[in-house]
Amino acid sequence: MSEPLIQCRSLTRTYTRGTETITPLERLDLDVMPGEFLALMGPSGSGKTTLLNLIAGIDRPTSGTLHIGGIDVGGLSRSRLADWRSRAVGYIFQLYNLVPVLTAYENVELPLLLHRMSGADRHSRVAAALDLVGITDRADHYPRQLSGGQEQRVAIARAIVADPAILVADEPTGDLDKASAAAIMELLGRLSREAGKTLIMVSHDPACAAHAGRILHLDKGRLVEHAAATVGAAGVTT
Amino acid sequence: MQTLPFTYSARNLGRSRLRLLLSVMGSAMVVLLVLAAGGFVRGMTTGLERTGDEANVMIVGIGSEESIERSEIPASVASLLDASVPGLRTAFGTTFVSPEVQVQLPVVAGAGSPEGRLVLVRGVTPTALLVHSQCQIAQGHWPRSGHNEILVGQLAHTKLGVSAAALAVGSTVNIDGRDWIVSGRLAAPRSVIDAEIWMPLADLKEATRRLTDSCVIATLGTGPGAAEFADVAAFARQRLDLEITAMTESSYYARLAGFFAPVRAVVWITAGLIGLGGVFGGLNTMYAAFASRVRELGMLQCLGFRRSAIVLSMLQESCLATASGALLASAAAVFFLDGVAVQFSMGAFGLLIDAPALLVGLGAGLLLGLLGTIAPAYRCLKLPISESLKSI
Ligand SMILES: Nc1ncnc2c1ncn2[C@@H]1O[C@H](COP(=O)(O)OP(=O)(O)O)[C@@H](O)[C@H]1O
Ligand SMILES: [Mg+2]
C-alpha cells in the first residue's frame, strides 16, 4: 500500500464577514491515493469548490493541515505556492476560462511559458497535449470559433500540458450538452486510467460522478457517508 | 519572473475597438497639448537664446542693464569704441560696431487695431546686418534714410495681429502717428528680431526727437590680437564720463529668458493639469477594460503567473495604446504646430517642435499609460484568486 498523495487533516476554511463567520469547510479529513479518480458531490454551497481550491493551492486553510506529495501546501509563501501550482496541479474550470485572444495552440502553450524549456520541446509538448484531447485540427482556432465541448478539450490540454500529477475539475461538464459531457467524461476517465493522473472532480451529475473510482458527498462543509454511492465506484457507465 | 507573451498584450488591445480608439485619441490629445506647451517653451527660449550672439558685446547706459529700451548713451560711443578698442571684427574696412536705438512704439497696419500695438522698433545703420549675423534682407531693399522707409521682420504681422500681406513690400505702416513705407522684409529665423521693425537710425532719432543711442553692439574679432570682452569692459569702465557699461549680448538675452520663466512655468502647469484630467479619463477606460477580464486574470494566476507579470502585461497593453497616440500627436505637431507664430510682449516667436519637445511628448504618452494602468490593475488584482475565478 503506497502513501496517500493528498492528506487533509482537520482541514477548515472560514470566512468572516463583519461579525458573521461562515465555515464552508469544517474539520475535514481526507486521503487521496495517487492515481485515484475522486468525485465530489453535494448540494450547492456545501464547500466543494472551497475544498477543490485548497487542494489546487489557490486558497489556504484557516486551520488544519494539507499535505500534497509530502509538501505542506498551506505553509508555502504566495510565490512558492504559485511555482508549486504551475508544476503540480492542472485546473479545469466549468467555464473553460480560455483566453479569447489566443488560439487553441497558444492557450495550451501558456502554462509552459512558466517553465524553462527549448522552443522545440515546448512545441512537441503542446502538440502531444492537443493530440491527446483530439483537437489537433483546431489548433489555430480562437475559442470563439470552437464549440463548448471543444473549448473544454483545449482547457483540458492546457491543464495537462505541464504534466502535473493532480488534476482538479470544478463541474467540468456543467455547461455542456449530454453528448459533449459524456465525451469529456470519457476523456477524463482515460487521463486517470492511462496517464495515471490523480483526478478530483466536482459534479452535480450522478452520470458523470459514476466515472470516478470513489464518490464523496459533502454537506455543510463535512463529508457524509453515502453507502449507495460507493457501491458502483469503479464502474464506468454511460 | 516569467512574463506573459507580448502578443497577449498586443491582441488584448483589439478586444474593444471603442476603448482602443478612446485611449489612442485621448493620449494623442494630451500629448498634442504637452507638445504645444513644449513647443511654446522651446520656441520662446531658443528665440531669445539665438538673438544673443556669444561674440557680441553690448554697451548700454549704467543702470539700464535690464532693459535696453530705457538705456541712453551718447551718440559718440560707437566711434569712440571703434577708435579705442583694437581687435574688433572687421570686414571690407568696416568695423563691426552697430549703434542702435531700441524703442517700443505703437504701430498700426492694415486691418489691425486702430490704436496700434507696441512693436520693438530698432534704429540701425547698415553695420547692424554685420553684427546680427542671423539677419538677412529676404525681400526688397535696405531702407534709405530720409525716405520714410522701414524693414519689417517676417513675424511682425503676428505681433500686429494682421495678415502677412498687410506688411508686404510697398505697403504703408503707421508708426507713432507717422506713415512709413515697407522697403523690405527682414528674416532672422528663430530669433526675436523676426518680429521687429528696423529703420535708419537717423530717421528714428528724428521721429522720436532723441539725440542719444540706446546701445552699441560690437562683434569681437577672432585669431591673434582679437579683442576680448574684458577689453570692451575696460573701455566702458575707464570712460566714466560716458556712464556706460558692457555686457555680452547672450547674457542679456539669457536674462530676458529668465524674466519669462514664470510664463513658461504657467504653461507647463496648465498642460500638466489638463494631462492629469487625461489620466483620470484614462483610468476609467482602463478599469472598465480590466474589470471585464477579472476571471481571466484569476485563471492566469491559477496557472502560476505572478501578479507582477500580469501588471507588466497590462502596462504593455496600455502603453502600446498611449504610445501610438503619442506618435500620432508627434506627427501632427511636426506638421501643424511647428513654426506656428505666437506673439508675446517681447515680440513673437514660432512654436518649436524639436527633438527635446518630441521626447517630452512621448514621455508624457508613456506616463499616461503608466498612471492610467496602475490603479485599475491594483483594483483588479487585489482579489484572492478564488474570488476572481467566480467573477462573471
Ligand atoms: N470568499 C468568500 N467569502 C464568504 N463566503 C464564501 C466565500 N467563498 C465561498 N463562500 C461560502 O462558502 C460556502 C461554500 O462555497 P463553495 O465551496 O463555493 O460551495 P459549492 O459546494 O457550491 O462549490 C458558500 O456558503 C459560500 O457562500
Ligand atoms: Mg462550486
Each residue's pLDDT tens digit, B200-248: 999 999 999 999 999 999 999 998 889 999 999 999 999 999 999 999 9
User: Using CB atoms, which residue from A53, A86, A97 is nearest to B296?
Assistant: A97
pLDDT higher for A229 or B222? B222
Q: From chain A, pick out residues whose CB is under 8 angstroms from the CB of B384.
A: 58-59
Could B15 and A93 be called an inter-chain contact, meaning their C-beta atoms sit closer than 8 Å?
no
Residue A43 CA: which ligand is closest?
A: 1
**CB-CB contact of A98 with A151 (8 Å):** yes
Residue A200's closest CA among A12, A57, A47, A35?
A35
pLDDT of res. B317: 93
Rounded to the nearest angstrom, the distance between the alpha carbon of A5 and the centre of ligand 2 is 23
Mutation to probe ligand 1, out of A12, A17, A22 (largest number of atoms < 8 A from CB):
A22
- Which residue of A14, A51, A58 is the best one to mutate when testing the B interface, meaning the one whose CB has the most B CBs within 10 A? A58
**CB-CB contact of B333 with B294 (8 Å):** no
Question: For chain B, which residues score pLDDT lower than 50?
Answer: none
Task: Check: pTM over 0.90? Answer yes or no.
Answer: no
Does the beta carbon of A46 sit less than 6 angstroms from any atom of ligand 1? yes
Residue A41 CA: which ligand is closest?
A: 1
Does the beta carbon of B387 sit less than 6 angstroms from any atom of ligand 1? yes
How many angstroms separate the CA of residue A142 from the nearest CA in chain B?
A: 12
Could A59 and B385 be called an inter-chain contact, meaning their C-beta atoms sit closer than 8 Å?
yes
pLDDT of res. A235: 42
d(CA B259, CA B346): 11
Q: Is the pLDDT of residue A227 over 80?
A: no
Residue B346 Cα distances to A24, A84, A128, A196, B121, angstroms: 76, 69, 75, 85, 11
Residue B386 CA: which ligand is closest?
A: 1
Reported CATH class of domain A35-52+77-228? alpha beta
Closest C-alpha residue for ligand 1 atom 2: A15
Residue A87 Cα distances to A111, A114, A164, angstroms: 9, 9, 6
Burial of A225 (0-12, 13-18, 19+ CB in 10 A): exposed
Strand order in the sheet with A214-219: A89-92, A166-170, A198-202, A37-41, A214-219, A222-224
Could B299 and A111 be called an inter-chain contact, meaning their C-beta atoms sit closer than 8 Å?
no
Ordered alpha helix ranges (H), chain B: 6-12, 17-51, 77-84, 128-131, 156-160, 201-208, 229-238, 249-259, 261-291, 294-303, 307-332, 355-381, 385-388
Residue A62 CA: which ligand is closest?
A: 1
d(CA A215, CA A200): 10
Phi, psi (deg, nearest 5) at residue A169 = -135, 125
**CB-CB contact of A113 with B5 (8 Å):** yes
Could B389 and A93 be called an inter-chain contact, meaning their C-beta atoms sit closer than 8 Å?
yes
Mutation to probe ligand 1, out of B294, B387, B389 (largest number of atoms < 8 A from CB):
B387
pLDDT of res. A225: 66
How many angstroms separate the CA of residue B294 from the nearest CA in chain A?
A: 11
- Distance of alpha carbon B167 from its chain centroid, rounded? 23
- Which residue of A53, A108, A117, A167 is the best one to mutate when testing the B interface, meaning the one whose CB has the most B CBs within 10 A? A53
The pLDDT-based confidence of A1 (bands split at 50, 70, 90) is low
- Lookup: cell for B6: 507580448
Closest C-alpha residue for ligand 1 atom 26: A45
Does the beta carbon of A48 sit less than 6 angstroms from any atom of ligand 1? yes
**CB-CB contact of B116 with B180 (8 Å):** no
d(CA B128, CA B151): 12
Strand B172-175 and strand B215-219: the pairing is unpaired
Q: What is the pLDDT of residues B14-52, one digit of tens each?
A: 998 888 998 899 899 999 999 999 999 988 888 888 888
Does the beta carbon of A174 sit less than 6 angstroms from any atom of ligand 1? no
Could A53 and B386 be called an inter-chain contact, meaning their C-beta atoms sit closer than 8 Å?
yes
Q: Is the pLDDT of residue A200 over 70?
A: yes
B382 at the A interface (CB within 8 A)? no
The pLDDT-based confidence of A226 (bands split at 50, 70, 90) is low
Residue B31's closest CA among B273, B275, B202?
B275
Cβ-defined contacts of B112-120 (< 8 Å, 24+):
B112/B160, B112/B161, B112/B162, B112/B166, B113/B161, B116/B174, B117/B159, B117/B160, B117/B161, B119/B156, B119/B159, B119/B160, B119/B195, B119/B196, B119/B197, B119/B347, B120/B69, B120/B192, B120/B195, B120/B196, B120/B197, B120/B346, B120/B347
SS3 of residue B147 by DSSP: coil
The label of the residue with cell 483620470 reads B280
Strand order in the sheet with A6-17: A20-32, A6-17, A63-68, A71-72
- Lookup: cell for A67: 499535505
pLDDT of res. A231: 42
The label of the residue with cell 516667436 reads B349
d(CA B379, CA B292): 12
Considering only alpha carbons, which residue of chain A is nearest residue B10? A101
Could A82 and B386 be called an inter-chain contact, meaning their C-beta atoms sit closer than 8 Å?
no
For chain A, the structural domain boundaries read 35-52+77-228
Identify the weakest region by mean pLDDT among A162-171, A199-208, B113-122, B169-178: B113-122
User: Using CB atoms, which residue from A82, A87, A93 is nearest to B306?
Assistant: A82
Q: Number of A:B CB contacts under 8 A?
A: 63
Strand B90-91 and strand B215-219: the pairing is unpaired
B388 at the A interface (CB within 8 A)? no
In sign, the C-alpha dihedral spanning B371, B383, A76, A49 is: negative
pLDDT of res. A234: 44
Amino acid at B263: V
Residue B295's closest CA among A51, A148, A98, A162?
A98
Identify the weakest region by mean pLDDT among A31-35, A90-94, A98-102, B352-356: B352-356
Report the nearest atom of ligand 1 relative to the CA of A53: 17
Closest C-alpha residue for ligand 1 atom 17: A47
d(CA A100, CA A120): 25
d(CA B288, CA B285): 5
Q: Is the pLDDT of residue A228 over 50?
A: no
Q: Is the pLDDT of residue A229 over 60?
A: no
Bridge partner residues of B200 (DSSP): B124
**CB-CB contact of B192 with B142 (8 Å):** no
- Distance of alpha carbon A104 from its chain centroid, rounded? 20
The pLDDT-based confidence of A162 (bands split at 50, 70, 90) is very high
Report the nearest atom of ligand 1 relative to the CA of A44: 22
